[in-house]
Chain A
C-alpha cells in the first residue's frame, strides 16, 4: 500500500519503479517529496530536472513538471528553466557519475553562479545504470567492472567540491539517515541560492556485489555505522574518525542569488 506521501506526490500509475530491490535511490526520492510537503510549496511551480542514470529516472515518478535530460547536463537545463522563470522552485536529481564526471563542469559553474537550484546527488559510488563501472566517487582500491584490479583514481568529495566552487548551502546525509536527509533538503530548498545535498545511496546490485558489501540491509547498516555527524566529529579523536565519513550541514552562508541579480539589470535597463 503506497503511503499518503507517495499517493500525493508520485505518479502512482507509473509505479512500480525500475530500481532493483534494495536500491537506495527510492528512499532518497521519497525524502525529497517529504521535504517539499513540509514546506508547502505550490506544486505547480516546482520543476524537477535530472540527467541520465538509475538515480535520474526518479523524475518520471514525481508529479511535478519533470525534465529528464541528457547525461551530465541536468544542471545546464535547470539553469535555463530557473533563469527563464525564477518563480519556479527548481530541483535537480543527479547521480555521482552524472554530476561529477560528465557533468562536473556544469556542476562547478552552477555552484559558482549561486543560481537558485537545489541539487541532490544520489551517490552510490558507481555507475549503476551501465552495470557497475567505477565513478569519480568510487573509493580508491574498490572494484568496478572497469576497475577489475581495483580503482587507482582518487575519489571526489562532492560537498567539499561544491562548497569550494561557491554553493551557499551544502550538506550530506544517507539513505539510512532519512530524517537528517529530509531536513537538509528542506533547508536547501529554503536557501535562495544554490544548494547541494549529497545523499549517500547504495547499489547492492553492482557496487555491493563487486565489493562484497553484503545485502541491501548490510549496506544500510554500513551507512549507519560509518557516518558521523559533523557536530559530534569535533569532539572525536582522529583515530576514532578513521574510516568514517561526515554527515550533516557543512555550509549555510546565503549570498545574493543569480536570477535576482539578473532581475536588477532588467529593472535598470528595461524600456517598456
Chain B
C-alpha cells in the first residue's frame, strides 16, 4: 500500500523520513539551504509528541541532540556549510561516546559564507575528516526526493544500529528540488532501534561491546547511572590514561564500521556490464550523469554510471572490480576534486581517470560531462 502521490521538496522528504524513522527530537539553527528542515520539524514534531528547539547556534544544536539521544529519543539536526563546520567538535564527541544521531548537511557553495543559495559538494572530505582524530564515518548521499526520504530513514537505522552519528550529505539541488513522490506506508518500513542492555543495572558496562563490536545502550533516567565522556574511556565509561585502553577503544570504533561494511555500503550502477567509460558521481550531479550517459549511448558509446549512495564508507570493492574492465572513469562533482581523490586511491593506474569539476554555483550540466568523454575518444 502506498500513500497517495504528492509534490514534495527534498528538505520536506527529509523530515517525513525522519519522523517515519522515529525522530522525536530536533535541535537546529537556521541556514540556507537547509532551513526548511528546521521549519517543517518545528511544525510536525509536536503533532507526534516530539520536541523541537531552535538553539543559539550550530554547536549548541549538535550538543542538544546528543543530550536528547542519551535519554532515548531519536534525534536529528540539519545545517549547511558554515554550520557544518561548527558542528565538527561535537560530531567527534558523538563518535567517541557512541551516541546515535543524524546530522543533515545540505551543501552550498563555500568556503566560508560562499554562495548561500547555490549548490555545491564541497564537504565530501569534511564529512570524512572534519572532526579531529581517527573516527568512523557513515555519510549517505541522496540523488532524488524519494531517495532523500528513504536515506533519512536509513540514516536513523544505521545510527541506532551502530551507535554513532550518521551524516545525510545532501546538496542544494536535492534539498530544494520538487518531485512527485509516493511515500510508503509507515507500517511497511523497516525501522531499527538501538540494542538494549541485557544485564542487570549493576552489571551494566556502557562501553562493553558484544561480539559485533557494538555496546548495548541504556538510556539516561532508567536507573543505570552511568558516565559518558569525550575522554578516552574503558568499558565502564570512565576516563583512562592507559595506552592499551586508548588503542583498544579507537581501534574498536573503526572496526565497528570496517567489519560491517557489507551491511552499510550501498551504490547504484547503470549500464556497467559492457561499459568502456563509467561516470562516477553522487547526489544532484548523478542526474546530469544519467542524462549524459543516455546522450552518449544514443550515439552508440558504451557508457555507464556508478553512484555511491554511501559516499563514506566508499564502495571500494565494487569500484575495484569495475576497474578490471572499465577503461576510463569520469568523476563529476560540484567541487574542485574531492571524491576523485578517493577514486584515484582505489583505482591507482588500473584505468584512466578524468575529472569534471564545477564551483561557480551552478549545477553540473550533462553537456559538460559528455564534452569530457568525447575528448577521451
Residues of A within 8 A of B (CB): 11, 14, 43-45, 47, 49, 59-60, 63-70, 73, 76-85, 87-88, 105-106, 109, 262, 265-266, 268-272
* Identity of the chain A residue whose Cβ is nearest the Cβ of B101 in the assembled complex: A80
* Identity of the chain A residue whose Cβ is nearest the Cβ of B229 in the assembled complex: A68
Sample (11) of A-B pairs whose CB atoms are under 8 Å apart: A44-B221, A45-B221, A47-B221, A69-B230, A70-B90, A77-B63, A79-B64, A79-B67, A80-B69, A85-B73, A109-B56
* Identity of the chain B residue whose Cβ is nearest the Cβ of A48 in the assembled complex: B227
Set of chain A residues within 8 Å of B223, measured between Cβ atoms: 44
Indicate if the CB atoms of B64 and A271 lie closer than 8 Å.
Answer: no
Interface status of B267 (Cβ within 8 A of chain A): no
A119 to chain B, nearest CB (A): 14
Name B4-36 residues within 8 Å CB distance of A: 24-25, 27
Name B98-124 residues within 8 Å CB distance of A: none
A117 to chain B, nearest CB (A): 11
Query: Which listed residue (A14, A44, A68) contacts B230, Cβ 8 A?
Result: A68
Q: Taking chain B's interface residues, is the majority helix, strand, or loop, or is none over half, making it mixed?
A: mixed
Stretch at the interface among B45-53, B151-159, B207-215: B45-53
Q: Taking chain A's interface residues, is the majority helix, strand, or loop, or is none over half, making it mixed?
A: helix
Set of chain B residues within 8 Å of A81, measured between Cβ atoms: 67-68, 70-71, 220
B202 to chain A, nearest CB (A): 12
Indicate if the CB atoms of A262 and B48 lie closer than 8 Å.
Answer: no
Complex Cα gap A45–B219 (Å): 11
Complex Cα gap A11–B225 (Å): 10
Indicate if the CB atoms of B227 and A59 lie closer than 8 Å.
Answer: yes
Other contacts beyond A65-B221, A66-B227: 10, CB < 8 A = A63-B225, A65-B225, A68-B229, A69-B63, A69-B66, A78-B67, A83-B64, A85-B220, A106-B56, A269-B47
Indicate if the CB atoms of A109 and B60 lie closer than 8 Å.
Answer: yes
A264 to chain B, nearest CB (A): 10
Set of chain A residues within 8 Å of B229, measured between Cβ atoms: 60, 68
The residue in B67, B70, B73 that gathers the most chain A C-beta atoms within 10 A of its C-beta is: B67
Set of chain B residues within 8 Å of A269, measured between Cβ atoms: 46-47
* Identity of the chain B residue whose Cβ is nearest the Cβ of A88 in the assembled complex: B221
B327 to chain A, nearest CB (A): 49
Complex Cα gap A57–B143 (Å): 45
Set of chain B residues within 8 Å of A67, measured between Cβ atoms: 67, 70, 220, 227-228
Indicate if the CB atoms of B225 and A84 lie closer than 8 Å.
Answer: no
Complex Cα gap A266–B49 (Å): 6
* Identity of the chain A residue whose Cβ is nearest the Cβ of B52 in the assembled complex: A262
Complex Cα gap A76–B89 (Å): 13
Complex Cα gap A81–B49 (Å): 16
Complex Cα gap A83–B45 (Å): 13
Interface status of B55 (Cβ within 8 A of chain A): yes
Indicate if the CB atoms of B227 and A68 lie closer than 8 Å.
Answer: yes
Set of chain B residues within 8 Å of A109, measured between Cβ atoms: 55-56, 60
Residues of B within 8 A of A (CB): 24-25, 27, 46-49, 51, 53, 55-57, 59-61, 63-73, 75, 89-90, 93, 220-231, 238-239
Indicate if the CB atoms of A60 and B46 lie closer than 8 Å.
Answer: no
Complex Cα gap A48–B224 (Å): 14
A63 to chain B, nearest CB (A): 6
Complex Cα gap A106–B223 (Å): 28
Complex Cα gap A80–B53 (Å): 9
Query: Which listed residue (A69, A79, A84, A105) contacts B57, Cβ 8 A?
Result: A105
Indicate if the CB atoms of A83 and B68 lie closer than 8 Å.
Answer: yes
A30 to chain B, nearest CB (A): 18
Complex Cα gap A268–B43 (Å): 12
Complex Cα gap A84–B72 (Å): 8
Query: Which listed residue (B24, B25, B220) contacts A88, Cβ 8 A?
Result: B220
Indicate if the CB atoms of A271 and B47 lie closer than 8 Å.
Answer: yes
Set of chain B residues within 8 Å of A14, measured between Cβ atoms: 238
Query: Which listed residue (B25, B48, B57, B70) contacts A270, Cβ 8 A?
Result: B48
Set of chain B residues within 8 Å of A266, measured between Cβ atoms: 46, 49, 51
Set of chain A residues within 8 Å of B226, measured between Cβ atoms: 65-66
Query: Which listed residue (B56, B68, B228) contacts A84, Cβ 8 A?
Result: B68
Indicate if the CB atoms of B46 and A43 lie closer than 8 Å.
Answer: no
Given the known inter-chain contacts A76-B59, A83-B53, please indicate yes or no for A64 contacting B90, CB distance below 8 A: no
B103 to chain A, nearest CB (A): 14
Query: Which listed residue (B56, B93, B227) contacts A105, Cβ 8 A?
Result: B56
Indicate if the CB atoms of A87 and B221 lie closer than 8 Å.
Answer: yes
* Identity of the chain A residue whose Cβ is nearest the Cβ of B53 in the assembled complex: A83
Complex Cα gap A85–B72 (Å): 9
* Identity of the chain A residue whose Cβ is nearest the Cβ of B64 in the assembled complex: A80
Set of chain A residues within 8 Å of B239, measured between Cβ atoms: 60, 68
Given the known inter-chain contacts A60-B238, A76-B59, please indicate yes or no for A272 contacting B221, CB distance below 8 A: no
Set of chain A residues within 8 Å of B225, measured between Cβ atoms: 43-44, 63-66
Indicate if the CB atoms of A80 and B25 lie closer than 8 Å.
Answer: yes
Query: Which listed residue (B56, B61, B231) contacts A68, Cβ 8 A?
Result: B231
Set of chain A residues within 8 Å of B53, measured between Cβ atoms: 79, 83, 262
* Identity of the chain B residue whose Cβ is nearest the Cβ of A265 in the assembled complex: B46
Set of chain A residues within 8 Å of B227, measured between Cβ atoms: 11, 59-60, 66-68
* Identity of the chain B residue whose Cβ is nearest the Cβ of A262 in the assembled complex: B51
B94 to chain A, nearest CB (A): 10
Indicate if the CB atoms of A271 and B220 lie closer than 8 Å.
Answer: no
Set of chain A residues within 8 Å of B230, measured between Cβ atoms: 68-70
Complex Cα gap A47–B66 (Å): 14
Complex Cα gap A69–B27 (Å): 17
Complex Cα gap A67–B56 (Å): 21
Shortest 10 CB-CB distances between A and B: which pairs? Answer: A80-B67, A80-B64, A76-B63, A84-B68, A76-B60, A44-B223, A80-B68, A68-B229, A85-B71, A81-B67
